[in-house]
């Protein structure tokens, strides 16, 4: 699967957090998205830098990184106001392998994640990975989302 390699500077992020693990992730993440959408939480996040929504995977821990946090939210300019029930995270500068998932959601995204999880050459850094749901995601004919996977710098392709 084709991807591009991008160095991304540190960024700030606010959203709602879910602590989960590999076994429960699929079911719990779907419910977490439902909550975010039903409560229209994107509009509650102050100082957003753009209209993109991110699904952020971070705080990896445990054997083979089986436990992690999944946070849905937005990149922000600052942490001057963090709404109650939300968390603020600073994501460190890192190099990412960026994959574009094209097609029906969630099938195209799951297929892309499956490729990433099985790719033995992709040396992940387990600092942060995230899905980007931007303007192209809302295209009813040809939806697209991006999957940014943090990688070790010495593995740049």
List of residues 6+ apart from 62 with CB closer than 8 A: 21
Q: Residue 91 sits in which domain range?
A: 4-155
Distance CA(134)–CA(136), nearest Å, equals 6
Mean per-residue pLDDT, 72-89: 98
Residue 150 maps to which CATH number? Answer: 3.20.80.10
| φ/ψ of residue 46, rounded to 5 | -80, 155
> Is the pLDDT confidence value at 63 over 80?
no
Considering the entire predicted model, what is its pTM? 0.93
The pLDDT value given to residue 151: 96
Q: Please tell me the total count of domains within the chain.
A: 1
Q: Give the CA diameter of the chain.
A: 42
Q: Are 54 and 15 in contact (CB under 8 A)?
A: yes
């Amino acid at each position: 699967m084709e991807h591009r390699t991008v160095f991304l500077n540190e960024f700030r992020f606010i959203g709602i957090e879910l602590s989960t693990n590999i076994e429960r992730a699929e079911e719990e993440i779907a419910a977490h998205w439902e909550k975010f959408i039903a409560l229209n939480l994107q509009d509650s996040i102050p100082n957003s830098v753009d209209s993109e929504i991110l699904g952020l995977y971070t705080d990896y821990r445990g054997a083979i990184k089986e436990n992690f946090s999944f946070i849905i939210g937005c990149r922000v300019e600052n942490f001057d106001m963090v709404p109650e029930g939300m968390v603020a995270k600073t994501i460190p500068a890192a190099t990412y392998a960026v994959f574009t998932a094209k097609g029906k959601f969630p099938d195209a995204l799951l297929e892309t994640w499956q490729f990433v999880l099985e790719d033995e050459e992709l040396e992940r850094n387990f600092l942060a990975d995230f899905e980007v749901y931007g303007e192209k995601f809302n295209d009813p004919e040809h939806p697209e989302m991006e999957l940014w996977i943090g990688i070790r710098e010495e593995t740049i392709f």
